[in-house]
Amino acid sequence: MFISSAFAQTAPAAAGGGDLMSSLGSMLPLVLMFVVLYFVMIRPQMKKQKEHKAMIDALAKGDEVVTAGGLLGRVSRMGDSHLGLEVASGVEVQIQRSAVVQVLPKGSLK
């Protein structure tokens, strides 16, 4: 009895042409999500990359650094894209500049 009356109902008529306000209203969540994504993820990552580049550019001979692989050493040679890193007395390895993740305070390595 209830089911037959539910099937008998017709769907409401669709709206005519869409106006500008309804199309902007439907785009608002997408724009809002992009703005939140920019301030939460993209902007902090760009700031971090900028700080890392400044640290790499400021490296000098004698600085004590930590590499991405966990090596600790003192910069002994400088090149355009590579560094000579002295990890022990008389032991030097060559690494890329971008592998340096942290500059330690002077005197950290004994």
pLDDT of residue 17: 52
Whether residues 39 and 69 fall in one domain: no
Range of the domain at 82: 60-104
The number of domains in the chain is: 2
Residues 40 and 69 in one domain: no
> From CA 29, how far away is CA 107, in angstroms rounded?
53
pLDDT at residue 9, rounded to an integer: 60
Q: Are 48 and 64 part of one and the same domain?
A: no
> H helices within 1-110, ranges in order?
2-8, 20-37, 43-57
Place of tokens 């942290």: 102
Residue 73 forms beta bridges with which residues? 65
Residue type, 88: A
Assigned token pair, 14: 């669709």
Length, in residues, of the chain: 110
The residue ranges of the chain whose pLDDT is under 70 are 1-18
Asked, for residue 30, whether it belongs to a domain, the answer is yes
Which tokens go with 109? 């390595």
**What letter represents residue 21's amino acid?**
M
